Structure 1
């Protein structure tokens, strides 16, 4: 991913902070001269965070991305800063003070002797004095920093008030994101299990050129990352993303597909192996079906499906108006792409497997009594693009949302309350617009959160129809009537798959979570749970 260079400061070195800034700046300018169209990342921890910010302020014309782990810009608020004038005397006269100061820096008491061996008392005093000057220098210039910045803060930092400082910097900096790690100490990069690459992927912070390209800049999860995403109780992403694995276990997904001869079979054998493939289906309430679908495709067929998502989930927005972006990091990890004709073009041209929901927000945030109702636009938006690349179109239905919850306070109810109505309008205005030229129900892209009564979990069902070949449709590419006929066929196939699942699931003896738990208790937790007869 990167060509890595490291700033090394020898233990006995006494270079001042401003001279260190010049050293880093010289290196950055040389790299920029060699590769003017390539971004440069500066990763700074503690004092390094001050260096990164100072270099960025002095070089606004260079495309820099800053990754700051517990930056020392908050040194003036630390518990060490106040007694700093007395530390020289204390270090010489009071032997107990040195272990105390080191304990603030060490991850554990077992590491104290290591720090004591490599960090003489004189060097520690010099470093602390440098932190004071570095913090003052950087804070006086921080408002002028224009570089994209990722702030990483620890909840158990005993040296600096890092989480409070991260919030302050996030308010000041013009283009920043923040991620919190509540169980980590000051030296975040030394924490067990911490993987900076995974963080960079999750926040969408990796790019090759001037702007982020969601297709060409995307790096799929490694086997280790995939295992962590779906099997570990704690992701290598921030702490509030550790419930996705259990959701797949609760839903007990049943995957069905259709073979060339029209037979419906258990599993995904009917899915094409080679792309481009466009999966077009019904969007359940709150996108309930997406996570199990992507996981099953990876597990059963080793196919990585790229989902087309609302820009709200991935792009920039006004700070404080929407849920924190860390909530959506897992979507970036698995390759979600903002909905646009350009992105669909890039995905299909790269022969990807693409997941598309024509009903979009209107379908996923539907009203009371609208489950399993399609809200598709009148225009055949995706058909001509699929035909252009000869993509196979796979219509599919998914059922089971009504086995998990029921909407009791919907959009219509919320719009009757002035406070909620204003919040919905503000949230919608603060996001990138989708289908601004559309008409009908699908044009209502107002963002809100339906209130839902939870139910005892049932089961999710998926049925993928027979792939529709478009390779022989090149001559019909400009025939709008023919394309619209194909569009209506896809829509009809989706509705047929939905009707099939809604009827068949009534005969599933393992529709209830209790019956599935009983089956696993007697047959083993790894056994495949049966379903209705096909």
Structure 2
């Protein structure tokens, strides 16, 4: 086959993101709760021997040698199968070992600590430049904390689900004396006790119905109810009376040990907290741990129970990626460590923002090489590096349709260069400071903090990057400043783009004035008693950009304009003709030439905005009502991106 034919085949390769609604909800090789039950039965059938590591078979073939090691430390069940529903995705990013503690094993907590410690020291000696991940739940979390405290100089990353450090406040605490004194002929009601940990089976089924996750057929419904109810008997087999008594004592000693050494923990930590944990007071405990530990973040799962990793709606990989906790080396590299969204992740992101797409019905225009303006994004270069430079609308809401449509139409992932506020870790967050979890979706979709180093890496890796020179000042503008550019006087990106021969795509976007009107801007809010102090406090805790600049671009107060929503209009995007910088590296070393190109790009962005403001006046479907009526009169469903607009 000749090169031309190969190229043509690659060009017609189908885009799996074209129809997000048709993407799978979960990956094909995902395992389920019933698989956990079945494999647990097999595991305890051949139980025996000391605690030991095993690597799940489904994770062995896909792991790259560059992947870091992940050690899973189990909870009270001890099987080591707690991550079974996540193996299919974790195995592509980590080398996974799971700790199995046999049912009849009676190893003391301090000996378990030494076992894990020997493993991490051995692996750290073998690969000293890689982090070691300790992913653990309840009892295992106490084990991870104790190991981390004993090895403060080792590069460890802890991901802990509902740590049992609060065992002294647990509903299982009173069971210890009861198990000691109750005669064997009076068996404890294990199913009821274990339901505290996992929740009522029928309630879990009803929760799935509310979330729309349950199959619709009667047969599938009954099968699911059977599956959800059988876990009690399986857990009772995993935790017979004597084993349960031992495990509760292990929890008690593990909790005491972990709490005694919290002050020595230096490891990076992510706590996953369940809002409906009936076994432990996990919400209060996660907040206590965050205040105590030096480097600790929390992610809340309000509707989840104690066994977080065994719930369908929890995706451990997405959570780790969203919190920026995945790295392959000693320090996070936002470019080389980035793992693009899977089809199921993109489907969930798209579904969460579908209301924006429906409300805005974006009109997107691009410019071909010959200067022809066309509908859609055919004018966007496929090969990077490509740098999109444009106008930042109010609150940056234009990013969502832009990134979504590029994925769906062109299979191009845009790496947004964002303000460091989206990545900052605030220990004692106070309103109106945003929750860091609010930005997880942007990190999953590839956002990186703005810096010269990250810009260099994006361009050198031939990425499609998105840059807003106006930054926060443009996105949080005042009354009467819509569609006004707040660019610095110095050309900040031209030379770097030219160094790698990037194609610069200037673009404009309009429509914010059809969705909201600012009623209280920064100038109004600082006159409200106490509000100025709040804004100054939030601003002072945010990384400073352009410290050597003056004027508007240096005046980036972190505040939220108070707005009055309007009956929705429409968003319009216009991507100008790509500006080629190939071969201009030497020429643009001259400041004058560099400034000329910078001003040209700025002028083109302003021209794109003016073009759209003009054209949208002739759009009969600019109003939401007219678009709804149009869709109602056409039997075939039409994507919000493909509704008619003005003539070109």
TM-score, reference length from structure 2:
0.79
Residues 370-449 of structure 1 aligned to structure 2 (within 5 Å): 370-449=481-560
Q: Which moved more, 1:513-522 or 1:22-31?
A: 513-522
Equivalenced residue count is 523
Q: Which moved more, 1:420-429 or 1:518-527?
A: 518-527
Q: Which of 268, 273, 277 is the aligned partner of 1:157?
A: 277
**d(CA) in 1 for partners of 2:284, 2:184:** 33
Q: Is the 8 A contact 1:91 1:98 kept in 2?
A: no
**1:418 to partner: Cα distance:** 4.3
Q: Which of 105, 111, 124 is the aligned partner of 1:32?
A: 124
Q: Is the 8 A contact 1:509 1:532 kept in 2?
A: yes
Q: Is the 8 A contact 2:504 2:579 kept in 1?
A: yes
**1:193 to partner: Cα distance:** 3.2
Residues 130-209 of structure 1 aligned to structure 2 (within 5 Å): 130-209=250-329
Are 1:529 and 2:643 an aligned pair? yes
State the superposition RMSD in angstroms: 1.3
Change in Cα spacing, 1:20 to 1:318, as seen in structure 2 (3 Å) is closer
Q: Is the 8 A contact 1:91 1:97 kept in 2?
A: no
Change in Cα spacing, 1:376 to 1:120, as seen in structure 2 (3 Å) is same
Secondary structure of 1:56's match? Answer: helix
Q: Is the 8 A contact 2:199 2:278 kept in 1?
A: no
**d(CA) in 2 for partners of 1:30, 1:103:** 39
CA-to-aligned-CA distance 1:215-237 (integer Å, 9 cap, x gap): 11111101121112113xxxxxx
Q: Which of 261, 272, 277 is the aligned partner of 2:370?
A: 261
**d(CA) in 1 for partners of 2:425, 2:188:** 49
Q: Which residue of 2 aligns with 1:324?
A: 435
**d(CA) in 2 for partners of 1:152, 1:41:** 15
Residues 196-345 of structure 1 aligned to structure 2 (within 5 Å): 196-231=316-351, 243-321=352-430, 322-345=433-456
Gaps of 5+ in 1: 232-242
CA-to-aligned-CA distance 1:210-259 (integer Å, 9 cap, x gap): 1111111111101121112113xxxxxxxxxxx42322221111110011
Q: Which of 127, 142, 149 is the aligned partner of 1:50?
A: 142
Are 1:68 and 2:160 an aligned pair? yes
Q: Which residue of 2 aligns with 1:7?
A: 99
Q: Which moved more, 1:394-403 or 1:104-113?
A: 104-113
Are 1:114 and 2:234 an aligned pair? yes
Secondary structure of 2:633's match? Answer: helix
Secondary structure of 1:471's match? Answer: coil
Secondary structure of 1:224's match? Answer: helix
**1:83 to partner: Cα distance:** 4.3
Q: Is the 8 A contact 1:318 1:430 kept in 2?
A: no
Q: Which of 191, 195, 198 is the aligned partner of 1:103?
A: 195
**d(CA) in 2 for partners of 1:296, 1:36:** 42
Q: Which of 584, 587, 597 is the aligned partner of 1:473?
A: 584
Q: Is the 8 A contact 2:495 2:585 kept in 1?
A: no
**d(CA) in 2 for partners of 1:91, 1:451:** 66
Q: Is the 8 A contact 1:255 1:266 kept in 2?
A: yes
Secondary structure of 1:511's match? Answer: coil
Q: Which residue of 2 aligns with 1:354?
A: 465
**1:89 to partner: Cα distance:** 2.9
**d(CA) in 2 for partners of 1:297, 1:381:** 25
**1:91 to partner: Cα distance:** 6.8
**1:73 to partner: Cα distance:** 0.5
Moved over 6 A (4+): none
**d(CA) in 2 for partners of 1:106, 1:213:** 38
Q: Is the 8 A contact 1:310 1:360 kept in 2?
A: yes
**d(CA) in 2 for partners of 1:97, 1:270:** 68
Q: Which residue of 2 aligns with 1:513?
A: 624
Q: Which moved more, 1:311-320 or 1:209-218?
A: 311-320
**1:513 to partner: Cα distance:** 1.4
**d(CA) in 2 for partners of 1:42, 1:332:** 22
Q: Which residue of 2 aligns with 1:495?
A: 606
Change in Cα spacing, 1:123 to 1:376, as seen in structure 2 (3 Å) is same
Secondary structure of 1:367's match? Answer: coil
Q: Is the 8 A contact 1:283 1:363 kept in 2?
A: yes
Secondary structure of 1:396's match? Answer: strand
**1:423 to partner: Cα distance:** 1.1
**d(CA) in 2 for partners of 1:15, 1:518:** 70
**1:52 to partner: Cα distance:** 0.4
Q: Which moved more, 1:520-529 or 1:46-55?
A: 520-529
Q: Which moved more, 1:256-265 or 1:369-378?
A: 256-265
Q: Which residue of 2 aligns with 1:461?
A: 572
Secondary structure of 2:426's match? Answer: coil
**1:397 to partner: Cα distance:** 0.2
**d(CA) in 2 for partners of 1:102, 1:491:** 64
**1:8 to partner: Cα distance:** 0.6
**d(CA) in 2 for partners of 1:261, 1:179:** 49
Q: Which moved more, 1:516-525 or 1:3-12?
A: 516-525
**1:325 to partner: Cα distance:** 0.5
**1:302 to partner: Cα distance:** 0.5
**d(CA) in 1 for partners of 2:643, 2:252:** 62
Q: Which residue of 1 aligns with 2:223?
A: none
Gaps of 5+ in 2: 1-92, 202-228
TM-score, reference length from structure 1:
0.96
